[in-house]
Amino acid sequence: MAEVNTEFRGYRSPLSTRYASKEMQYLFSDQHKFSTWRKLWILLAKAEKALGLDITDDQIREMEKHVEDIDFKAAAAEEALTRHDVMAHVHVFAKQCPLAAPIIHLGATSCFVGDNTDLLILKEALDQLLPKLVGVIKQLAQFAMQYRDLPTLGFTHLQPAQLTTVGKRCSLWIQDLLMDERALRNCRDNLRFRGVKGTTGTQASFLQLFAGDSAKVRQLDQTVTKLAGFERYYAVTGQTYSRKVDLEIVSALASLGATVHKMCSDLRLLASRKELEEPFEQTQIGSSAMPYKRNPMRSERCCALARHMITLQANAANTLAVQWLERTLDDSANRRLTLSEAFLSADACLLTLLNISQGLVVYPKVIERNIAQELPFMSTENVIMAMVKAGGDRQVCHEKIRVLSHEAGAQVKQHGKDNDLVERIRADPYFAPILGQLGSILDPKTFTGRAADQVVEFVNEEVNPIVALYGDKVVTKSAQLKI
Q: What is the dihedral of CA 169, 174, 175, 176, to 10 degrees?
A: 110
Marked catalytic residue, from 66, 110, 255, 287: 287
CA distance 47 to 76: 30
pTM beyond cutoff 0.85: yes
Residues 71, 76, 80, CA angle at the centre, nearest 5°?
A: 150
**CA-wise closest residue to 109 among 192, 36, 194, 173:** 194
As a whole number of angstroms, the distance between CA 137 and CA 376 comes to: 35
Instruction: Assess whether 287 carries a catalytic annotation.
Output: yes
Q: What integer pLDDT is reported at residue 366 of this predicted model? A: 96
In three state form, how does the secondary structure of the chain look? CCCCCHHHCCCCCHHHHHHCCHHHHHHCCHHHHHHHHHHHHHHHHHHHHHCCCCCCHHHHHHHHCCCCCCCHHHHHHHHHHHCCHHHHHHHHHHHHCCCCHHHCCCCCCHHHHHHHHHHHHHHHHHHHHHHHHHHHHHHHHHHHHHCCCCEEEEEECCEEEEEEEHHHHHHHHHHHHHHHHHHHHHHHHHCCECCCCCCCCCCHHHHHHCCCCHHHHHHHHHHHHHHCCCCCECCCCCCCCCCHHHHHHHHHHHHHHHHHHHHHHHHHHHHHCCCEECCCCCCCCCCCCCCCCCCCHHHHHHHHHHHHHHHHHHHHHHHHHCCCCCCCHHHHHHHHHHHHHHHHHHHHHHHHHHHHHCCCEECHHHHHHHHHHHHHHHCHHHHHHHHHHCCCCHHHHHHHHHHHHHHHHHHHHCCCCCCCHHHHHHHCHHHHHHHHHHHHHCCHHHHCCCHHHHHHHHHHHHHHHHHHHHHHHCCCCCCCCCC
Instruction: Write out pLDDT tens, residues 143-175.
Output: 999 999 999 999 999 998 889 999 999 999 999
pLDDT at 289: 47
At residue 290, the pLDDT reads 46
Rounded CA-CA distance 31/367 in Å is 52
Instruction: Using alpha carbons, select from 242, 259, 118, 115 the residue that is nearest to residue 184.
Output: 259
Residue 157 annotated in active site: yes
CATH number of 110-279+295-363: 1.20.200.10
pLDDT in tens, the chain (483 residues): 566 677 778 888 888 888 889 999 999 999 999 999 999 999 999 999 999 999 999 999 999 999 999 999 999 998 899 888 899 999 999 999 999 999 999 999 999 999 999 999 999 999 999 999 999 999 999 999 999 999 999 999 999 888 999 999 999 999 999 999 999 999 999 999 999 999 999 999 999 999 999 999 999 999 999 999 999 999 999 999 999 999 999 999 999 999 999 999 999 999 999 999 998 654 444 544 444 457 889 999 999 999 999 999 999 999 999 999 999 998 899 999 999 999 999 999 999 999 999 999 999 999 999 998 888 777 888 888 888 998 989 999 999 888 988 888 888 888 888 888 888 888 888 888 888 888 888 888 888 999 999 999 999 999 999 999 999 999 987 655 665
23-96, CATH topology level: Fumarase C; Chain B, domain 1 (1.10.275)
In the chain, the amino acid numbered 357 is S
User: Which of 35, 84, 105, 157 is an active site residue?
Assistant: 157
What is the third-level CATH fold of 366-446? Ribonucleotide Reductase Protein R1; domain 1 (1.10.40)
- What pLDDT does 307 receive? 97
**Neighbour tally for 449: CB within 10 Å:** 13
User: Domain residues of the chain, as ranges?
Assistant: 23-96, 110-279+295-363, 366-446
Q: Tell me, what amino acid is at 395?
A: Q
Q: Do domains 110-279+295-363 and 366-446 have the same CATH topology?
A: no
**How far apart (Å, rounded) are the C-alpha atoms in residues 151 and 170?**
13
Amino acid at 99: L
